[in-house]
Structure 1
Amino acid sequence: MTTNSTAKPLGVPIPDLWKGAHRDDRARPRSRQRLLGPSSIGLCRRRAAYEVHGTWPTDLDDNKHGAILGTWLHEGILRVLREQYGAWTELELTDGVILGHADAYWAPDRSHPHRQALSHRATEGLQLSGVGVVEDIKTKSTRALDVVVRQGPSQAEWFQVHLYAHLLRTGGLKDHPELPTGEPLPVDVVRLRYVGREYGQVVVHQRPYDEDVTKQALAWAEDVLAAPEPEAMPRDLDGPGLSIICDNCPFRSACWNLDQLTDDRAPQTVLAEDTAAITEALGAYADAAEIESAAKKRKAKARKMLDAADPGTYGAFKLSWSGGKPRPPEPDPEAMIRVLEGLGIDIPLRPGGRTSRTISVSRVPETG
């Protein structure tokens, strides 16, 4: 990605922001220890296993603009929480197996371990209460933030913030100048704060700390740690082209054998290894097609019913309309062909390529 500029050329070099940003991002310290990070737990077991086994990434992209913007925004958010609201930020936590950094932590005032140490901080906005809170910050695109609004946090995100709470509660804090290290710190509430990268929207989810969620997360981690090699772990996501997480995974080529694909076949073909797997995929396709057909009919009827409805809020739903504006005139290919033929001019052609492959799946009638 080169620098785009409307500045007049003056013979003065213009630093390429994104080239430098990617170099800076790759130079950030990254642990090569074979410890699981809470942010990887609950996401994909094979990806986590690659990390645990110290596999070198096969895919380092130079188009991580959104992720880098998120990193810059994340740093600013933590500074505000630290300086304006008295949070302890970027706490290193580990139990020797899991290693992570909690974004923000507030200890309860009823049992604050180092209350006097706060005397040097601005206390006007200090957020001390009767409960301990650990918070994780997520920066999201507008589309991803909309998913959070509609569906709530993912299981992996709840796993992550619960594991931070667990490590704090079990004395996992390391090398901190103010808080006591190696001692349990109280956490009663876990919080996820989502911030939109485009417009700064903020969505917050919080809940009481739940020991059962932590147990599920630890069991997930134990499964990964027990794997003799990454390939022993299943792929928990749908793969490149179907999962944005897979699209941005640093191990996607190794995981999905992308270097071995031929004839533009989909990466997911590696999942159809034998007759049983193909039969299972056919069943999934047929089931989904039947559900999709029925859903399309319901959706089409509902759309017709709403055609005259005014925008507004109806119960738990909000209706809005877009489009409906007249389009400008467009070129008419058929008329152009007739004009060229009438003038006796050969019609320019380009390679036609191949038609797209279509699939037909039907159920074989059962025999008595």
Structure 2
Amino acid sequence: MSIDPGAITVPDLWKGAHRDDRARPRSRQRLLGPSSVGLCRRRAAYEVHGTWPTDLDDNMHAAILGTWLHEGILRVLAEQYGAHTELELTNGVILGHADAYWAPDGDTPGVVEDVKTKSTRALDLVVRQGPSRHEWFQVHLYAHLLRTGGLAEHPDLPTGRPLPVDAVRLRYVGREYGQVVVHQRVYDEDITKQALAWAEDVMESAEPEAMPRDLDGPGLSIICDNCPFKSACWNLDQLADDGRAPQTILAEDTAGITEALRAYADAAEVESAAKKRKAKARKTLDAADPGTYGDFKLSWSGGNPRPPEPDPAAMIRIIEGLSLDIPMKSGGRTSRTIGVSRAPEST
């Protein structure tokens, strides 16, 4: 039989992957997930009020890759290290799934772990700044639910009664190269109380719009860029198609404009002072060798010779010397420059 390889249909991987992802069970009951606690109160309120997502992207390749990688990681933790994985936890208000749990064994404490896959850039941020507040909230809430008998039906662990958790762990895995960064700490009741207070604030909201936007919005926050409620939250469907930023809805009256001006002026003053300190520190370090100094690691990159590049000024002189007209194109418009200064105090 003669076969034309070009005529054989190739299944579309990502089209199928998105169908598979959307077919996963997604609860619309009014329970709050620990992964949403501490992130953005308005986004969490949309979830607990059962709002249907306004933004379901078809380019969530990184998120789907993360899901596939996540499933493999949990299988390894279970099969190779005896972890109990994907534990459903709830107290009737909060509903979540803890990635991994190890019950105490002799001198080994009880540990609950959350696994997160990250891009190289996001992983570098974790290395430099540590876990975010909402990530510590999330894993502490898992510990709290285990400690208070919140485990749902499970084949190997007792349900309906407290399970000991002495420590919490966050494991970050790089999606590109498999780097692993681990942060763990002793369970902290104060962090749990803060997380529960945050969750209670959202659960008591009358409607999502009653909750503040805790993040900076599309174009300024990657979380907002990928939020399933970003159009509803930022009125993107009503935004005039004139290039205005979504954040303009925050300055629709005199009070909003005044607040934005105050924030701009304050930030500009801090930025100016910081740039001066940074410039001095940079010059001070100019002759320092790479290495570790106290809590800091110094490295250098660049400094290599550049290849030759065209000289526009010389090219213009040559063309003018030949008495030729220089081709021109529209220059467009200059970018708008904002000027903000503090008005003098009235006497």
TM-score w.r.t. length of structure 2: 0.93
SS of residue matched to 2:292: strand
- 1:327 matched to 2:306: yes
* CA distance 1:336–1:150, change in 2 (3 Å): same
Task: Say which SS state the counterpart of residue 109 (structure 1) adopts.
Answer: coil
The answer for the alignment partner of 2:123 in structure 1 is 145
- For 2:189 and 2:292, the matched residues in 1 are separated by 38
How much has 1:158 moved relative to structure 2?
A: 0.9
Q: Deviation of residue 273 (structure 1)? A: 3.0
Distance 1:130 1:304 in 2: 49
Aligned residues: 342
Partner of 2:81: 85
* Change in 2 beyond 3 A, CA 1:335/1:60: farther
Superimposed CA distance per residue, residues 74-99 of structure 1 (whole angstroms, 9 cap, x where no aligned partner): 11110011000111000011111111
The farther-off stretch of 133-142 and 320-329 is: 320-329
In the alignment, does 2:294 pair up with 1:315? yes
CA distance in 2, matches of 1:260, 1:356: 25
1:28-107 equivalence runs, <5 A:
28-107=24-103
Aligned 8 A contact 1:163 1:217 in 2: yes
> Aligned residue for 1:14?
10
Residue 171 in structure 1 maps to residue 149 in structure 2: yes
CA distance in 2, matches of 1:191, 1:346: 65
Q: TM-score, normalised by structure 1?
A: 0.88
Structure 1 match to 2:184: 206
Q: Which secondary structure does the structure 2 equivalent of 1:270 belong to?
A: helix
Q: Which amino acid aligns with 2:182?
A: V
Note if 1:296 corresponds to 2:292.
no
**Structure 1 gaps, min length 5:** 1-7, 111-128
How far apart, in 1, do the equivalents of 2:72 and 2:233 lie? 34
Q: CA offset at residue 339 of structure 1?
A: 5.3
Deviation at 1:312, TM superposition (A): 1.9
Equivalent position of 1:366 in the other structure: 345
Amino acid at match of 1:23: R
CA distance in 2, matches of 1:297, 1:211: 41
Identity of aligned residues (%): 83
- Aligned match of 1:217: 195
The answer for the alignment partner of 2:211 in structure 1 is 233
Give 1:315 shift. Answer: 2.3
Structure-1 separation of matches of 2:295 and 2:122? 21
1:172 and 1:181 map into 2 onto residues whose CA distance is 7
**Alpha-carbon distance in structure 1 between the residues aligned to 2:145 and 2:293:** 44
- 8 Å CA contact 1:340–1:347 kept in 2: the answer is no
Secondary structure in 2 matching 1:195: strand
